[in-house]
Amino acid sequence: MRIYLDNSATTPPYPEAVAAMTAALRENWGNPSGIHSFGRDAFDAMQAARAQVAELIGADAAEIYFTSGGTEADNLAILGVAERFCRGHIITSAIEHAAVLNPCRYLEERGFDVTYLVPSAAGFISAEQVAAALRPDTLLVSLMHANNEIGTIQPVAELGRLLAGRGVLLHTDAVQSAGKLPLNVAELGVDMLTLSSHKLNGPKGVGALYVRHGVDIRPRLLGGGQENRLRSGTENLPGIVGFGCAAAITRERLTEQAAKAKLARDTLLAELHRLGLQDFAVNGELSERRLPGNLNLSFRGVNGAALLLLLDMAGVAASAASSCSSGSGGPSHVLSALGLEDWRLEGAVRLTFGWQNTPEEAKRAAAIIAEQVEWLRSAAGGEA
């Protein structure tokens, strides 16, 4: 049996979400903008899903704008704010997902200033760093809630308090934390928040941007004016219904699921130690300030890409950094920003656990990892 330890890349959809989507595809295929009963049925299903997604983050349903995923929601947040201005300053971090970094780079080319805050070696950005970077022309702070490679949880609520009443908007990419940590937009004090369905056991190709009532951002897609004129295009109704269903289930099972993921993660790490594997390190602080299912390990003297191939052949699916940057070559921009030694950049592997991973699987995966690491080290001449 293969063992899937890449739950930050994507997650298996809940059977209930698949069933809800299938029913929507078959029976509820009307256009939600239609004024007839077919349209109204589709509209009602979409609004029910909107309420389910809103509930996951403590928002009002009218503050949820469906998109094609986390990437589009991040782009909409950042470019949608920038569109209102010709110039200005944005603060973000060097460890954001490419869906935030690339819109920021694009804006730099168009005359905006962007500050990329560098994390501590443990993987955190502090509110003090943000406070020190603020300028009179700062428009937006975009800081991810939890990092996709090392799982570190950033002090977004502290930023919310710092920025309150300053006229600076706060966006957080909560793609990795949604469904794993309790999320409440009022407690976080954010103006915008990004969600992606496929990271919380929903379908791919659908996500959402929460935009607080009263926050003015401009659309990126112009057309028929769907999603309250912020995101044109006929809505992906089956995807939205599946997303809503997954959001409702994940909200109900959050504590139990997070505990299961953490148990599997902790079991794998304990097992590597029990097996006597030497010379490896956890990247990013391993504490309560980390996603329960995230582990990022470096093995001295081992090439991470080679190890991943061997693990895959032995039935363990893991990834290098984020699934988006793997294959692009070069060390992870997140691990590089932590200032890690070369061997840790070279030998890094991300193992991300979900509620479906059992301690038994974790133990089997640990044995396979230890075996393959030892093999690679011996093949390299034992100099490690």
Ligand X SMILES: Cc1ncc(COP(=O)(O)O)c(C=O)c1O
Which residues participate in catalysis according to the annotation? 324
Q: Which parts of 157-186 interact with ligand X (CB under 6 A)?
A: 173, 175-176
222-281: contacts with ligand X (CB under 6 A): none
Q: Which of 313, 308, 353 is nearest to 326 (CA)?
A: 308
**Residue 133 main-chain phi, psi, to 5 deg:** -90, -15
User: Nearest to ligand X by Cβ — which residue?
Assistant: 70
Residue type, position 118, single letter: V
Helix (H, G, I), strand (E, B) or coil at 122: coil
Residue 78 or 185: the one with the smaller Cβ distance to ligand X is 78
If one asks whether residue 324 binds ligand X (CB under 6 A), the answer comes out as: yes
Helix residue ranges, H only, 35-184? 37-57, 70-82, 98-109, 127-133, 156-163
Name the burial class of residue 288, with classes exposed (0-12), middle (13-18) and buried (19+) by CB atoms within 10 angstroms of its CB. exposed
Residue found under tokens 């919310």: 160
- Taking CA atoms, 328 is separated from 221, 295, 333, 342, in Å, by 28, 21, 11, 18
Amino acid code (one letter) for 383:
E
Q: Which one of 11, 148, 154, 257 is in contact with ligand X (CB under 6 A)?
A: 148
Write down the least CB distance from residue 14 to ligand X, Å: 17
- Output the smallest distance, CB 72 to ligand X, in A: 7
Single out the residue of 13, 32, 70, 304 in contact with ligand X (rule: CB under 6 A).
Answer: 70
Based on the shown chain and the rule CB under 6 A, indicate whether residue 318 belongs to the binding site for ligand X.
Answer: no
Q: Which of residues 188-217 bind ligand X (CB under 6 A)?
A: 196, 207
Q: Strands of 217-257 (E only): list them.
A: none
Residue 293 as a binder of ligand X (CB under 6 A): the answer is no
Residue 144 interacting with ligand X (CB under 6 A): yes
Please report whether residue 79 would count as binding ligand X according to CB under 6 A: no
| Contact call for residue 322 and ligand X (CB under 6 A) | yes
- Backbone Cα Rg of the chain: 21
- Give least dist CB 360 to ligand X, A: 28
13 is a site residue for ligand X (CB under 6 A): no
Q: Which residues bind ligand X (CB under 6 A)?
A: 69-71, 74, 97, 99, 144, 148, 173, 175-176, 196, 207, 322, 324
